[in-house]
Amino acid sequence: MLSIEADCLEATGQTEAASRQRHKQIEAAVTDPVPYNDEASYLLVVKNAPEEALRILDLAERNQCSSSHTDAIRGKVLEALGAGRVASELRWERINAGNLNPAFYVDEANYQLEQLNDPKKALDLLDLIEQRGIANVFTQALRSKAERWRRVAVGPASGPLAGLSGH
């Protein structure tokens, strides 16, 4: 019930009141991951406070109410703290375990693309998303982006028709 109230407060622009409501739940050590996830996301995105977000996620883990969504948020928080490699390891752990939360795949493909400049690995991961049946509009948009990056990285003169320009 309090989680719904916090959502309503947030929806009406009362973000501080929503945060206070979530903190009441967290301080009561609820075992529902939603208030932890929502508060960590709020702290990361709205307050730009990744250290505080990580503290909330650690509380969720301590109270044994983490979810795959909690882990996906943790990856974003770790990246914001400059620990992209650790975030990547966490995502790969979940992906290799067969987790079907698309956030792990999208975030890792973005990391491969934007931080490691590896469009091939990003595209391989996007292929895996399709094989596992969890593709969505976000993964399709990311595929287009990765394909553009690959074309730029490969260059126009190295494709199968290279050297056939007729000049």
Residue 167, SS3? coil
Q: Round the average pLDDT of the chain to a whole number and report it.
A: 90
Domain assignment of residue 137, yes or no: yes
Task: Check whether residue 51 and residue 96 sit in a common domain.
Answer: no
Last residue of a domain, one of 25, 59, 82: 82
What local confidence, expressed as pLDDT, does residue 166 receive? 39
Number of Cβ within a 10 Å radius of residue 132: 14
Domain assignment of residue 161, yes or no: no
Last residue of a domain, one of 82, 113, 141: 82
Task: Check whether residue 26 and residue 71 sit in a common domain.
Answer: yes
Domain membership of residue 98 as a residue range: 84-155
Task: Check whether residue 7 and residue 43 sit in a common domain.
Answer: yes
Tokens representing 160 are 């199968």
Last residue of a domain, one of 82, 99, 122: 82
Q: Residue 95 pLDDT > 60, yes or no?
A: yes
Instruction: Give pLDDT tens digits for 25-45.
Output: 999 999 999 999 999 999 999
Confidence of residue 165 (pLDDT cuts 50, 70, 90): very low
Query: Whole-model pTM?
Result: 0.85
The pLDDT of 132-154, averaged and rounded, is 92
CA pair distance 40, 48, nearest whole angstrom? 10
Task: Check whether residue 4 and residue 76 sit in a common domain.
Answer: yes
